[in-house]
Structure 1
Amino acid sequence: MAQKSQIEWTDATWNPVTGCTKIGPGCDNCYAERFAERWRGLEGHPYEQGFDLRLWPSRLAQPALWKKPRMIFVNSMSDLFHKRVPREYIDRVFDAMETANWHVYQVLTKRSSLMRSYIQRRYGGREVPSHIWLGVSVEDAAHVSRIRHLQEVNSPARFISFEPLLSPVGAVNLSGIAWAIVGGESGPRARPMEAEWAREIRTICDRYGTAFFFKQWGGPRPKSGGRILDGEEWNGFPWQIVPESILLEINAA
């Protein structure tokens, strides 16, 4: 069963794939790896293989079992566009999301060029269904090319997670980006985030009309530093891209 999430910007997580490999500095202190490796070798545990990549076909039907609409973070414990995930399996994940279309799915990747290629093959010039949100992680200025790859995807629901934010990202172009999430790193080796880096992104969001969400300062634990930036919480959310049928269900709940 997928799990209710403690992540501030979603309702639940769904992991039809688990495990991953590192591809940049944002992965150095991966929380998912740290959690999964605690259980390596424990027979019968979902993470008995640690953080080795694993496909879970048995989980593909889970979203259809949830009748109440919710925001679902897809693969919080992996990356759907990892090069070792077969395209046919990614098709099955997208089929499941398209079938259970009363939910909003938040798909986040660091492998932005592979996501772009897959989406262009699957949908051609057609727009990605509006209940499937596509996002990229950007931790520093060296990886802002992921934003351009995202902008080349035909979707009204593009988002960026600047987490863990490890350095200034500079004057990024957020044209066509609906939502930006900013957060510091958490864990025993957390690297600090400077307030000015977050403020810079907030200013850019204002310029482009991008909703700004400040998730955390980070520290030894995710909530160690709280969520207050310049005296307030920043809970921007792109309600304008939530499909109307889902929005009505959420408001009625």
Structure 2
Amino acid sequence: MADGSGIEWTEATWNPTTGCDRISAGCDNCYALTLAKRLKAMGNPKYQEDGDPRTSGPGFAVQEHPSALDIPYRWSAPRLIFVNSMSDLFHAKVSTPFIQEVFRVMEETPRHTYQLLTKRPRRAVRLASHLPWPSNVWLGVSVESEGQLGRLDELRQVPVATRFVSAEPLLGSLAGIDLNGIHWLIAGGESGPNHRQLDPAWVRELRDSCREQGVAFFFKQWGGTRPKSNGRELDGRLWDEMPVPTPA
């Protein structure tokens, strides 16, 4: 948990669950998996269980942390909170009752705005009728290449006030993307020693699609060996647009 975040599009992170499994190409160089290995070596108690070596790794088993549920109550000032920067709340190994507890916390702290990002929107659809969807909860899906565009169709089925897309790491062209019902799109390149190259044409395609379809556009980074290696400017300016939430 971090009150304050290096992620440009949020203000704090809250991890009621940790751990995950890779399911698509965007997961290949997962920063959270690498960080979990380091945290395990440091003795962090939340990262001592190992995940499946085929899809996860040291310290990255999916775990629920009930002790973390009270953290948002303790933050008195409103914050923009990224939920589960080290996990996916809709992972199959996260129990439905625990997901409901997380949503209860979000509903009871309307001063905060919560950003949930998932690669598993199908489960969100299945659970949608069993969860409250207050207007301070945003739900997004990761779409790193054309093969994941179907996640947008599933996202549109969830009765959430604000929907967003994270095209990071952007690994291919998403030309012609349908952003109907979407309020925000984040694009960015991959970082780390094995980062894959980001084509500026792919970013411009997304920016232009957002402008044509009335969607807020946020360009996070070009990526490189380090996240900030090549800056954040696109065509001579920063793109830090944020969504205007609509009623659920």
**TM-score computed with the length of structure 1 as normaliser:** 0.90
Map residues 187-198 of structure 1 onto 2, 5 A cutoff.
Answer: 187-198=192-203
Letter in structure 2 aligned against 1:19: G
Could you tell me how far 1:137 is from its partner in structure 2? Answer: 0.5
Using a 3 Å threshold, how does the CA distance of structure 1 residues 104 and 115 change in structure 2: closer, same or farther?
A: same
Q: Is contact 1:184–1:216 with CA below 8 Å preserved after alignment? A: yes
CA separation in 2, counterparts of 1:139 and 1:35?
Answer: 21
Q: Which runs of 4+ in 1 moved over 2 A?
A: 39-49, 120-123
Find out whether 1:83 has 2:103 as its counterpart. Answer: no
- Is residue 38 of structure 1 aligned with residue 47 of structure 2? no
Alignment of 1:157 with 2:162, yes or no, is yes
1:90 is aligned with what amino acid? I
| Residue correspondence of structure 1 range 65-144 to structure 2 within 5 A | 65-123=74-132, 128-144=133-149
How large is the RMSD of aligned CA atoms in angstroms? 1.5
8 Å CA contact 2:161, 2:246 repeated in 1: no
Deviation at 1:108, TM superposition (A): 0.3
Structure-1 separation of matches of 2:240 and 2:75: 26
Please state if 1:241 is matched with 2:245. Answer: yes
SS in 1 for 2:114: strand
CA distance in 1, matches of 2:87, 2:115: 13
Name structure 1 gaps, 5 residues minimum.
244-253
Displacement of 1:63 after TM fit? Answer: 0.3
TM-score between both structures, scaled by the size of structure 2:
0.92
1:221 aligns to 2:226 (yes or no): yes
> 1:42, 1:48 within 8 Å by CA — same for their partners in 2?
no
Compute the displacement of 1:168 (Å). 0.6
1:203 to partner: Cα distance: 1.0
Aligned to 2:46, the other structure's residue is in SS state coil
5+ residue gaps, structure 2, are 50-58
Give the Cα separation in 2 of the matches to 1:134 and 1:180. 12
Q: Secondary structure at the match of 1:154?
A: coil
2:25 equivalent in structure 1? 25
Measured in 2, the distance between the counterparts of 1:216 and 1:38 equals 24
Q: 1:44 to 1:233 in 2, by over 3 A?
A: closer
In the TM superposition, residue 40 of structure 1 has moved relative to its aligned partner by: 2.6
Q: Secondary structure at the match of 1:37?
A: helix
Residue type at the aligned position of 2:108: T
**Is the 2:137–2:161 contact (alpha carbons within 8 Å) kept by the matching residues of 1?**
no
Higher mean displacement: 169-178 or 25-34: 169-178
SS at structure 2 position matched to 1:220: coil
Whether contact under 8 Å (1:20, 1:52) holds in the other structure is yes
